[in-house]
A = this chain, B = another copy of it.
């Protein structure tokens, strides 16, 4: 495990181009800094600098490490800032799975806002794992994500939805109700890199000896749908993501579905917010309950 003071030495060398100037900047002597860099290189297991003719250059490992070192120290600063901030007015911090429909989430929260105009909802995107982690580390209160059988103390089950394949409206297949993998053999595929059924989708095609050409990959579903609408290719999405800019068709034999849930806080809420939380949970259940999204 590396030491933060060594990261400071490392960044000082990168910024100054010299061990001697870096030592000045970090208020130690040059031999101390030299030994510190040596120690850091031992900790990470490979050289970070190439010393050549009294000059210092980053190695490939050093270049790769540099943004990470900055991120670590940035997180440390955020940690100190978090401690310094005065407690702000309480808000509801809601995580939302990136693959959820913006429109559906917007409508859900619009209705909630009408019912509870004083509540501030902070919305955070994330992958399943990110949302789970943030619930665990208490940086989120609630999360809308995929249900995987968690107990009722952790999750309020919501509705099911299936996956469909979306295409530009002018696509030759856009009038069809359902197609097979072979129908898409010559088509372009857009990859939503955060799709829950990414590997299933891949297997669906490879099992039928079909290999659509991958032309674009993005974690941002709105961008993926925009790319479909723009005509660059098609992609698999949960049904609720379909909008009027694209055409949805079924994939024969692709029967995967996902069930959503509202994940509950993993810590004891303050007394002042338990009623607010209960109201929020009821609202979500009313709007997105097991019978589907309320129209």
Question: A residues bordering B, Cβ < 8 Å?
Answer: 1-5, 8, 44-46, 60-61, 63-72, 75-76, 78-80, 82-83, 85, 87, 102-103, 105-107, 109-110, 113-114, 117, 120-123, 125, 133-134, 137-139, 213, 215-220, 222-223, 225-227, 229-232, 267
Chain B proximity of A163: nearest CB distance (Å): 20
Q: Is the CB of A72 within 8 A of B75?
A: yes
- Closest chain B residue, CB of each to CB of A46: B83
Report whether B72 and A113 are in contact in the complex, using a CB–CB cutoff of 8 Å: no
Q: Is the interface of A mostly helix, strand, loop or mixed?
A: helix
Report chain B residues within 8 Å CB of A3: 3-4
Q: Which residues in B have their C-beta under 8 angstroms from that of A213?
A: 117
B82→A68 contact, CB < 8 A:
yes
Tell me how far the C-beta of A193 lies from the nearest C-beta in chain B, rounded to whole angstroms: 9
Of all chain B residues, the one with the shortest Cβ separation from A44 is B83
Contact partner, A226, options B4, B102, B216, B217, Cβ 8 Å: B102
User: Residue on B with the closest CB to A193?
Assistant: B122
CB distance from A69 to the nearest CB of B (A): 7
Interchain residue pairs A-B with the least CB separation, the first 10: A106-B226, A68-B79, A67-B139, A110-B232, A67-B137, A110-B230, A102-B222, A106-B227, A72-B75, A102-B226
Give complex CA distance A223, B78 in Å.
Answer: 26
Contacts of A133 in B (CB 8 A): 70
Q: Please, how many angstroms separate the alpha-carbon atoms of A3 and B85 in the complex?
A: 21
Beta-carbon contact of A223 and B123 below 8 Å: yes
Q: Which of A61, A134, A232 has the largest count of B CB atoms less than 10 A from its CB?
A: A232
Assess the A226–B80 pair: CB atoms within 8 A. no
Residue with the greatest number of chain B CB neighbours at <10 A, chosen from A69, A133, A216:
A216
Residues of B within 8 A of A227 (CB): 106, 109-110
A114 neighbours in B (Cβ, 8 Å): 232
Contact yes or no, A76 B83, CB < 8 A? no
Query: How far is B64's CA from A61's CA once the two chains are assembled, in angstroms?
Result: 34
Q: Which residues of B contact A66 (CB under 8 A)?
A: 137-138
Q: Are B79 and A60 in contact (CB under 8 A)?
A: no
Closest chain B residue to A224, Cβ basis: B106
- Smallest beta-carbon distance A87→chain B, Å: 7
Q: With A72-B79, A215-B117 known to touch, is A102 a contact of B1 (CB < 8 Å)?
A: no
Rounded to whole Å, the gap between the CB of A160 and the closest CB of chain B is 22
Q: Which residues of B contact A8 (CB under 8 A)?
A: 1
Residues of B within 8 A of A65 (CB): 79, 82-83
Q: A89 to nearest B CB, angstroms?
A: 13
- Collect the chain B residues with CB atoms within 8 Å of residue A45's CB: 83
